[in-house]
Amino acid sequence: MNRIKTDILIIGAGSGGLSVAAGAVQMGADVVLLEGHEMGGDCLNYGCVPSKALIASGKAAHAQRHAAPYGVANAPGTVDYAAAKDHVADVIAQIAPVDSQERFEGLGVKVIRAYGRFISRDEVQAGDTVIKARRIVIATGSSPLVPPIPGLDTVPYETNETLFKLREKPDHLLIIGGGPIGMEMAQAHLRLGCKVTVIEGMKALGKDDPETARVVLDTLRDEGVVIEENATAAEVRGTAGKIEVEAKDGRIFKGSHLLIAVGRKANTDKLDLDKAGIEPAKGGIKVDASLRTTNRKVYAIGDVAGGLQFTHVAGYHAGVIIRSMLFGLPSRAKTSHIPWATYTDPELAQVGLTEAEAREKHGDRLEVVRFHYEHNDRALAERKTKGFIKVMVVKGRPVGASIVGHQAGELIGLWALALANGMKMSQIAAMVAPYPTIGEVNKRAAGAYFSPRLFESDLVKRVVRFVQRCVP
């Protein structure tokens, strides 16, 4: 058995683990990184990267079929599904070197390609190596949750870990789960020529603001996606190419392929947490505000820490713990400024409180301002006028923003900046945006906050009249 010592041991080479490793080693720490599966984790290999690449293929096909409004003849938009998957694989391959073992070894990280499990409070075994570390970071991420639906174990199905390797285009894709993953893949596959039925036990996109979510759901339905809500799957049966899902209320949905997209579960099974005195929690591992576990030597970041499960959250967590581990400075993770986006067309984005949450928390002090895409000149030029932004404001400061529309995922970044830094609406309004851009939507939303104060105020009008009469 080999034995080594290190300053920082990281278990998991996904987004969070790689961010910690790169930052720590370049600032002088001795770092060991364990990865028993693929470098880059879920995001690179099965999640964010391949899904957005496939969405891009679907957009290209959709654009060809709907070119007439731009003075260009519509085309069939013929899809080669296997070639679309080649595009996905190529995108992954282009990004993979950034996350590769070779790059991190070049930075000075010792990379061990094996799963790690705790054997004591400060020791982890990986293969034939035992690593003793001053600080340990658990960054093992999450995996697709497969619910215990009767019959599911006898029927072929896909998850996000297998879908992107599928080469034969599904004739009719059934998707159990109407969250972001389910809805993104529903629209992408419909645009790539599949029939699609989404089966959701409650409300589709139920964690988002219902007003903005409705715009997305109506669009998907108009394009041809069948969305069945309040349809909890009770049984799955059939064989490859001929699958049935029966809901508790008796509804039966038939298709050729099945995708399970009901959520994620933290990857903790292989860790032997109890041997390190680490307490689990619902959704992952119990952590405090500084992301420490119940073992003070061990941190947990990203999906495994519970809470928001996004790649950018794992990266943010990495920055929080680096401050603590390397410099001994207090550092706490917050969630109020964390944005998220669903990359349907139109996109859906959120940061901070939704309108319902803000009303519950702030009551009558809340003001909600809106601006619609149909009043944005660039959106008109691009024929992307579907959607709107609404900003929740309390005492002149934004406490949340909800956007649905073209490039919503890009627009939300400004409001994340505002919430992270406690900015005022006046500071957003003072920004000068280039014309014509979709980005003007943000400035116009801030302007909508001040418009009634300026243009509907008797006091302002009296002051203006006084100045015009009395000031030479």
pLDDT of residue 451: 74
7-17 confidence digits (pLDDT tens): 999 999 999 99
DSSP H or E stretch at residue 5 = strand 2-11
Q: Are 204 and 178 in contact (CB under 8 A)?
A: yes
Report whether 369 contacts 444 (CB < 8 A).
no
Name the pLDDT band for 469 (thresholds 50, 70, 90): confident
Secondary structure string (H, E, C) spanning 353-391: CCHHHHHHHHHHHEEEEEEEHHHCHHHHHHCCCCCEEEE
Question: Do the beta carbons of residue 372 and residue 433 sit within 8 Å?
Answer: no
Positive or negative CA dihedral for 312, 310, 157, 196? negative
The pLDDT score that the predictor gives to residue 460 is 67
Q: Which amino acid is located at 427 in the chain?
A: Q
| Whole-number average pLDDT of the chain | 95
In the numeric block, which tokens belong to residue 289?
């505000």
Residue 349 backbone class (left: φ over 0; alpha: ψ -120 to 50; beta: rest): beta
Cβ neighbours for 102, distance < 8 A, ≥ 6 positions apart: none
β-partners of residue 23 are none
Q: Name residues whose C-beta falls within 8 Å of residue 399's C-beta, 6 or more positions apart in sequence.
A: 352, 353, 358, 361, 362, 366, 392, 393, 419
| CATH code, residues 2-39+100-143+265-327 | 3.50.50.60
User: Quick check: 457 pLDDT over 70?
Assistant: no
- pLDDT of res. 33: 98
Q: What is the residue extent of each domain of the chain?
A: 2-39+100-143+265-327, 152-263, 339-455
> What are the structure tokens assigned to 234, written together?
């009770």
Span 3-31, average pLDDT: 97
Contacts of 328 (CB under 8 A, 6+ apart): none
Percentage of the chain exceeding pLDDT 90:
94
pLDDT digits (tens, 9 = 90+) for 62-89: 999 999 999 999 999 999 999 999 999 9
317 vs 282 pLDDT, higher one: 317
Q: Are 358 and 377 in contact (CB under 8 A)?
A: no
Asked if pLDDT for residue 467 goes beyond 90, the answer is: no
**Residue 455: its pLDDT value, please?**
62
Is pTM beyond 0.85? Reply is yes
Measured at the CA of 150, the angle between CA 146 and CA 154, to 5 degrees, comes to 80
| Burial profile 233-255: b = 16 or more Cβ within 10 angstroms, e = fewer | beebebeeeebbbbbeeeeebeb
Same fold, 2-39+100-143+265-327 and 152-263: yes
Q: pLDDT above 70 covers what percent of the chain?
A: 99
CA distance 183 to 191: 12
466: pLDDT strictly greater than 90: no
* 402-440: pLDDT as tens digits: 999 999 999 999 999 999 999 999 999 999 999 999 999
Dihedral sign of CA atoms 8, 10, 13, 17 in order: negative
List pLDDT tens digits, range 98-142. 999 999 999 999 999 999 999 999 999 999 999 999 999 999 999
Whether residue 454 is predicted with pLDDT greater than 70 in this model: the reply is no
CATH 3.50.50.60 for domain 152-263? yes
The CATH superfamily holding the domain 339-455 is FAD/NAD-linked reductase, C-terminal dimerisation domain (3.30.390.30)
